[in-house]
């Protein structure tokens, strides 16, 4: 799982989502998705801008935590026509 620590970083820097949006040029809705960890896609350009404004490293902003149940290899989830199936179910 990937954790986004934007909310923590903004609190530490006493900065609002609105101000971060103004300084980075990233839409407020996108900042809000990052803040609440709803973001599905993380754009490299956004990561670059956020790290630049907040003066942080990528590892301070984004953290990888291994999943308890793997989602790859024999546990791969394949989406076909909106149905989610584990790879073993597709054989």
Does residue 18 belong to any structural domain of this protein? yes
Does residue 8 belong to any structural domain of this protein? yes
pLDDT in tens, 34-82: 999 998 889 999 999 999 999 999 999 999 998 887 777 777 767 666 5
**Paired tokens of 67:** 């999943």
Range of the domain at 8: 2-64
Does residue 9 belong to any structural domain of this protein? yes
Does residue 60 belong to any structural domain of this protein? yes
- Domain total for the chain? 1
In 5-86, where does DSSP find H-type helix? 6-12, 17-24, 28-35, 44-54, 58-61
Strands 2-4 and 62-64: antiparallel
**pTM of whole model > 0.85?**
no
Does residue 16 belong to any structural domain of this protein? yes
**Paired tokens of 39:** 């973001």
Dist. CA 67–CA 77, nearest whole Å? 14
CATH number at residue 54: 1.10.260.40
């Amino acid at each position: 799982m990937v954790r986004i620590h934007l909310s923590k970083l903004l609190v530490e820097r006493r900065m609002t989502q609105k101000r971060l949006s103004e300084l980075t040029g990233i839409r407020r809705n996108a900042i809000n998705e990052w803040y609440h960890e709803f973001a599905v896609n993380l754009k490299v350009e956004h990561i670059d801008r956020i790290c630049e404004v907040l003066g942080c490293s990528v590892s301070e902003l984004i953290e990888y935590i291994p999943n308890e149940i793997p989602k790859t290899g024999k546990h791969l989830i394949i989406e076909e026509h909106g149905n989610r199936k584990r790879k073993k179910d597709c054989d």
